[in-house]
Chain A
Amino acid sequence: MKLRCLPLALLIMLSGCSTAQSVLHAHGEAAIALKNLIIFIAWVAAIIWLAVVGFLTFALVPRRNHSAGPDNRSERTMTIAVATATAATALIIGILTVASFYTTRALNSGGNADVTVVVRAQQWWWQFIYADHDQTQIFQTANELHIPVGKTIRLRLQAVDVIHSFWVPSLAGKLDLIPGRENTLTLRAERPGIYRGQCAEFCGLQHGHMAFAVIAEDDADYQRWLARQRLDAATPTEAEAIAGQGVFLAKQCAACHAIRGTSASGSTGPDLTHVAGRRTIAAGLLETTRGSFAAWIADPQTLKPGNNMPMVPLTTDELRQLSAYMESLR
């Protein structure tokens, strides 16, 4: 069966190398170590399986001059064979246990973190809070984590409601976020790139739409991004956007979302201060465009049924103005 799938498997593996959310497409220190371990164990397993099936086939082909029935001599050979195979099994799993132990040890060689981010997972989006010694410099963003390449990043994983799991396969293995506890995940990207991640513990209705991106960039880009994020939201200049800001502050929007530099300071939904600067909205659901904003705001429950943002009744004009305002929040 394995053989039958092999060409297919190869095809997938090759194509897999061009995607951004894959164990086999490892670009983080941890993910590379894990990939090596996975490939090593997979080879060992493949050899064992071939040996077993080979012997099975050999045992089943009809042989001439073969008397059925217990016969002491073959009984003895069989005992030796079974004992040897059992000893070999013990040896192999011993090796695998040690290999896996050393991989774990290598993973946690972290040292001091260069950047610390608090990750707060909730139904069904990710809140990233960039901690800083200077209180005024703290800011938060959603569903998009920017990190500098080659630096050690410490993530403090917290859950707001139910259990979620933080998983960016191209960078590191997953770790759960559990209410009432905090886990710490250390990761490091070896190369700039956009690495997709997704919640990996079933967390309710929209578990399937709880994605995020880790954007690893070189230090200059990262610093530029940081500086921009620390700024308050841009004041709209276009007439439509200005009207949109009015709508935002007047309707329920501001009860759930914060926009720094305005009176909106809700904390139920993602911070929108620089929402248009992010690649996607609604946890990876839609690409960030004015049309997406309009579609999302007009009817979030059809696009992502069950999510915690209600449909806010708006006139067509209000919707247009709001979308323009959202798009101005770069």
Chain B
Amino acid sequence: MKKDQASAVPADTGLADAEVERQLTTIWGSRPGFWGAVASVDHKVIARRYIVTAFIFLILGGLLALAMRLQLAQPEARFISPDRYNQIFTMHGSNMMFLFAVPVMEAIGVYFVPLMVGTRNIAFPRLNAFSYWVFLFGGVLLWLSFALDTAPDVGWFAYVPLSGPEYSAGKRADIWAQMITFTELSALAVAVEIVVTVFKQRAPGMSLDRIPVLVWAMLVMSFLVIMAMPAIMFASSTLILDRLVGTQFYNPAEGGDALLWQHLFWFFGHPEVYIIFLPAVGMVSTILPAFVGRPLFGYLPLVMAMIATGVLSFGLWVHHMFTVGLPRLGESFFTASSMAISIPAGIQIFCWLATMWAGRPVFRTPLLFVIGFIATFVIGGLTGVMVASVPFDTQVHDTYFVVAHFHYVLIGGAVFPLIAAIYYWFPKMTGRMMSERLGRWAFWLIFIGFHLTFFPMHLLGLLGMPRRVYTYQPELPWAGLNLFISLSAVLLALGFLVFFVDVVRSWRNGLPAGPNPWKATTLEWATSSPPPSYNFRRIPVVDAREALSPNDGELAVASGLRTDRRELLVTSVVEALPEARESSPRDSVWPLWAAIATAVMLIWSMFSPWAVVWGSIPIAVTLIGWFWPKGSPEDES
């Protein structure tokens, strides 16, 4: 236990618990009322907003999926015009990837990384607030364009030349490209915050080998975001340049190259899949031990496997391009690298199986979803191995087989763990338990509905049905399967409905949860549910990988942080030895104004390149407001 020497300024040393709490609440709490809420930079408040918004996008994207299934239930149906259908699948894909899956995973990181490493707020909290607003505006932009019937209609990877100036008139493709810019900007901000929080703000004693697996997952994910982002930023900017000022990056007639786009997009797009999947690995690894009553088996191999996955994910983007006519040597390389990524994935699965094998399972809803995840994700992984084989892929690429494959990976591999995570952490976030009864209903409906919906799509693909077709002809033998799939999709939707009903009901009147209902061992359970604005009354001190072991009694704490201003403990990267006390920014509305100014500039720039010049003036003004010094004293070491 570490004790700072008492200083002249008010610190928590020696104060009674109740008095510390009172003072911390005053200094960390947000002001009441609308503007108080808007100005909040509390990572939990912002993460909750992020999560709720992302789930709203999930619901909207799900409704689009149902619309597609309605149209495809019959051959040559005319419920939805081809133009609308193309908008719908583009919206569905873009929305699910950029507005739901990536943001929701990051949001879980924003909520739990600071709690799990035992600090009081995320690094750069104002940037965090900014990132939420930018994400929100990007999403609203996309959905407004859909409401106005001018949504992007070129697919979520917007291949040129189809999305270029010649074949996509109007602003549709520009809206897509700018939506990318919005969401990437916000993702980048969050990634930087997570990296710094993990490296510099861990509780004393939480050396690298004691970091919770979820935090590792978020760290690797953040690095992937940071490294993949330049490619997509470059791609979307050059697309806008081609469309707006007549550059010729992608025009083969003028020496540009249509395939350049695919390389850039997938150099980002493939890691993107792991940006979604790695946090899910972290969630499963965190949840599983709590329900099998033993620590995770294979901490080190799991962490190594995650890092290996992250590194390998940059070496296999070309497997999205196996039908463009590549040289043979290149194909063999990318087949081998794509197949190789199943080794770290295998290690992860084997470690979880071993953990279950040695433990004693308690079948609560989170565990059910984890089990469902393993059974489902393995299928997605195996079909992934299939499409990694070039000859195999030439038959199934761009067919419903691939639609089945990536839904197995995205829903089975990421949404199932996410729902498990919601059931698991809901008590922490709201102080209330979710219903076990509804949870079971939700699980079985979603699990069965999912497989009935997506498994037959493998067959449809093998029977020759391409993806992204707004209809098919009656003489093709696809009608029966399609109808079956559409009906099953209703079952799946019903499962999600039960889940959302459970969330809303439990939020209002679930049973009180208490600080640690699952007897879990990570630090977020060491504080009340929901956690107070300052997270921990005193900063915890960690002396083992299982920070809260059941037979450990009281948690050791460090004291000495000031209680008259927002202060955090900065620790060293490897050993997490205390290094300094640092002030943490206060609430501010400026991030909102800055986000509005950024949004204006980005949207304006779809119409005129000069927006980049004139639009940056208001941004500069808001940034000055944001960083205006408030006369807080220098940080002390």
Contacts and interface: CB of A to CB of B under 8 A. Distances in A.
Interface of A: 1-2, 4-5, 8-9, 12-13, 15-16, 18-19, 21-24, 31, 33-34, 37-38, 41-42, 45, 48-49, 52-53, 55-56, 58-60, 62, 66, 68-71, 74-75, 78, 81-82, 85-86, 89-90, 93, 96-97, 99-101, 103-104, 107-108, 123, 161-163, 165, 167, 169, 172-176, 178-181, 183-184, 196, 198-209, 211, 284-285, 305-306
Nearest to B166: A161
Given A97-B335, A174-B395, A200-B397, A82 B298 contact: yes
B382 A178 contact: no
A16 B332 contact: no
8 contacts: A23-B463, A34-B391, A78-B354, A96-B389, A184-B325, A202-B468, A208-B470, A211-B473
Contacts of B273: none
A100 B394 CA distance: 12
A22 B389 contact: no
Contacts of B374: 52, 56
Contacts of B10: none
Contacts of A53: 375, 378
A93 B343 contact: yes
Interface of B: 81-83, 86, 154-155, 159, 161-162, 166-167, 252-253, 257-259, 292-295, 297-298, 301, 323-325, 328, 331-332, 335-336, 339-340, 342-343, 346-347, 349-351, 353-354, 356-361, 371, 374-376, 378-379, 382-383, 385-386, 389-399, 447-448, 451-452, 455-456, 459, 461-464, 466-473, 476-477, 481, 484
Contacts of A178: 258-259, 324-325
A49 to B, nearest CB: 6
Contacts of B361: 60, 62
Contacts of B379: 2, 49
A78 B161 contact: no
A209 to B, nearest CB: 8
A183 B325 contact: yes
Given A82-B351, A93-B343, A200-B466, A162 B161 contact: yes
Given A5-B451, A37-B392, A68-B294, A52 B464 contact: no
B31 to A, nearest CB: 48
Contacts of A206: 82
Contacts of B342: 89, 93
**Chain B facing A: main interface SS:** helix
B255 to A, nearest CB: 9
Contacts of B358: 68, 70-71, 74-75, 78
A1 B335 contact: no
B353 A101 contact: no
Contact of A34 (B253, B258, B292, B395): B395
A33 B520 CA distance: 53
Given A9-B459, A37-B389, 7 more contacts: A8-B484, A16-B463, A49-B379, A81-B350, A100-B392, A101-B335, A181-B259
B378 A52 contact: yes
A217 B252 CA distance: 37
Contact of B392 (A8, A34, A68, A165): A34
A204 B86 CA distance: 8
Contacts of B477: 15-16, 18-19, 22
A201 B325 CA distance: 14
A207 B469 CA distance: 6
A208 B469 contact: yes
A56 B476 CA distance: 39
Contact of B371 (A60, A97, A173): A60
B152 to A, nearest CB: 12
Contact of A200 (B155, B399, B472): B399
Given A56-B374, A200-B397, A163 B385 contact: no
Nearest to B298: A82
Given A104-B391, A161-B167, A169-B464, A68 B357 contact: no
Most A-side CB within 10 Å, residue of B86, B456, B464 = B464
Contact of A306 (B83, B351, B359): B83
Contacts of B354: 78, 81-82
A321 B111 CA distance: 73
A96 B339 contact: yes
B595 to A, nearest CB: 33
A24 B463 contact: yes
A201 B397 CA distance: 9
Nearest to A206: B82
Contact of B162 (A31, A93, A202): A202
Most B-side CB within 10 Å, residue of A33, A45, A62, A173 = A173
A205 to B, nearest CB: 5
A85 B346 contact: yes
A161 B451 contact: no
A21 B476 CA distance: 8
B394 A86 contact: no
A239 B468 CA distance: 45
A203 B353 CA distance: 44
A23 B396 contact: yes
A180 B395 CA distance: 24
A97 B343 CA distance: 13
